[in-house]
Amino acid sequence: MKKFFISTAIDYPSEKPHLGHCLEKVQADVLARYKRLRGFNVHFSMGLDEHGRKIQRYAQKAGKEPQEFVDEMSSYFKNLWKILNISNDDFIRTTEKRHIKVVREITKKIYEKGDIYKGKYKGLYCVDCESYYLPKDLEAGLCPIHHKPAETLKEETYFFKMSKYQKQILKHIQENKNFIIPESKKNEILNRLKEPLQDLSISRKTVEWGIPLPLDKKFTTFVWAEALLNYITTLGYPSEKFKKFWPGQIHIGKDIIWHHSVIFPCLLFSAGLKLPKIIFVHGFITVAGQKMSKSLGNVIDPFELVKKYGTDAVRYFLLREIPPTEDGDFTYEKFEARYNSDLASGLGNLVARVLTLATKLKIKNEKFKITNQNLKSIIDETWKNYKKALDEFKFNEVLISIWELISVCDRYIEKERPWEKSEKQQLTINNLLFTIDNIAQLLKPFLPETSEKVLEQFKTKKIKILFPRLK
C-alpha cells in the first residue's frame, strides 16, 4: 500500500485558537481524506509547540506553571479539531517524552558532526514569534509580523553552522520545482538566500521553560531548533514507520516559511536525513480587510462560528472563499451569503427536491443509473478535473466545479420537469439520483458530515434539511 505523510504546522498555544488556526488544518484534512479514499496508508499529524520564552511569560501572567498552562490550552485546540471533524492520526505536543528523546538524539548527531559550537550572541529578538531579526528586517524597529518592538538579546549561546549548508539548500530549492508552493513564496526564499546565511543560535541560558540542551544542561534548546523536529517525532524516528512514511508534505502559514524551508532543511542536512517533499504555504485570513487582532476586537471565535452555523458550513467557507495560497477575507455578511446561496439554496435544495420526487415514485437505490450522456460526460469531466486540482492544492476550484454540477442538475430539472408524469419521468429522476450520488462522493473529503447525511437519506428516504436557510 502506498504511504502518504502530511502534517500541519504545530500551533503555539499562548492563547486560545482563532479562525486563522483553522485554515491549514481543514486544507490538510481534505488531502488526508482524499488520499485515504484513493487507498493510501495515511499518517496525518498536527500538534502544539509548547516551549519558549513566550509560553513562560503567558503562564506567569495566568499565575500558573508552564506545564499546567499548556495542558489547559491544549484542550481548547484538541476540542476545536474535534468539532471541525479533522481526521488527524496524531496530535503531538513538544513537551512529550517521545519528542524530547528525538531532540536529544538529533542534537547529539549534529554536534558529533562538528556542526555546533559555543559563542556569544547579540542581536534583536521578537518574543512573540521566537525569532531573531537583523535591523534591516524590522519595520521602524518593529517585528514585521507582530508589529511589536524587538528586544535586544545578549547572551552566551551555542550556534548551529547553518551557513555551511547555504549552497546545499539553495541548490535543492532551485532543482526541486515543488519543494515550496506557491512559486511566489519560493522566489521570496531564493531572494533572501542571496544574502549570506547566518549561523543559528540554538540555545537559551535565560529561558527555563524548554528542553535541556543535551551537551550543556545550563542551557535550554531554542524553541525553533527543537519544535521543527516534531515532523520526524510523530513518525517515531528512527523507527521502521519513519523510514516508510518520511519524507512527506507540510502545510504552513506564510509567517513561518523561513523556518520550514531553510532552518529545518539545514538541520536535516546535518543529521543526514531527507528533506520534506513539499512545503505548501497558505495565506492569512483577514476580517473586513484587516488583520485579526485583539486590540481591534475582530478576532473570530471558531467555536462560536461552528455552534451557530455548523461544522461543514465553516469548512466550506474556508475552502471555497479563501484562496489556497493567498490571503482571504472573512465577514459575517460574506459567510452568510455563501451559506444561503451555495449550501441552503444550492446543495440542500437540490437534494431535498430530488429525494422528495424519488420518495413519491418509490424509486429504489439499486435503480441508480445514468441514461443522459450529456450529464454523464459532465460528471466524468468533473472527476477528472477534481483529481488534477486536488493534486495541485486548488481546493476552491474543486468546489466551484462541484457546484457547477449542482447548477447543471438545477437546469436539467427545469428542462425535464420531473414532477410531471411522463414516460421519461423515472429515467430523469434516476439520472438526478445518480448525479447527486456522485456529488456526495466528490464532497467526502471536503464536507464529510454532509456527504454522509446525503448518502444516508438515499438509503432511508427520510428527508432532512441539510442547511436551514438563514433569515
Catalytic residue annotation: 18, 21, 126, 129, 143, 146, 291, 294
**Which H/E stretch holds residue 120?**
strand 116-126
Contact call for residues 396 and 319 (beta carbons, < 8 A): yes
User: Counting Cβ atoms within 10 Å, is residue 220 exposed (0-12), middle (13-18) or buried (19+)?
Assistant: buried
CA–CA dist 229, 225 (Å, integer)? 8
**Which H/E stretch holds residue 153?**
strand 151-160
Q: Specify the residue for cell string 441552503.
A: 344
* Strands 151-160 and 116-126, bridge-based pairing: antiparallel
Contact call for residues 403 and 443 (beta carbons, < 8 A): no
Helices 395-416 & 311-321, crossing angle to 10 degrees?
Answer: 110
Phi-psi domain of 420 (left: phi exceeds 0; alpha: psi -120 through 50; beta: other): beta
Contact call for residues 113 and 217 (beta carbons, < 8 A): no
Angle at 215 between CA 211 and CA 217, to 5 degrees: 55
Expressed in percent and rounded to 5, the helix, strand and coil fractions of the chain are: 50, 15, 30
Residue 317: all three cell numbers together: 467557507
Angle at 312 between CA 310 and CA 317, to 5 degrees: 100
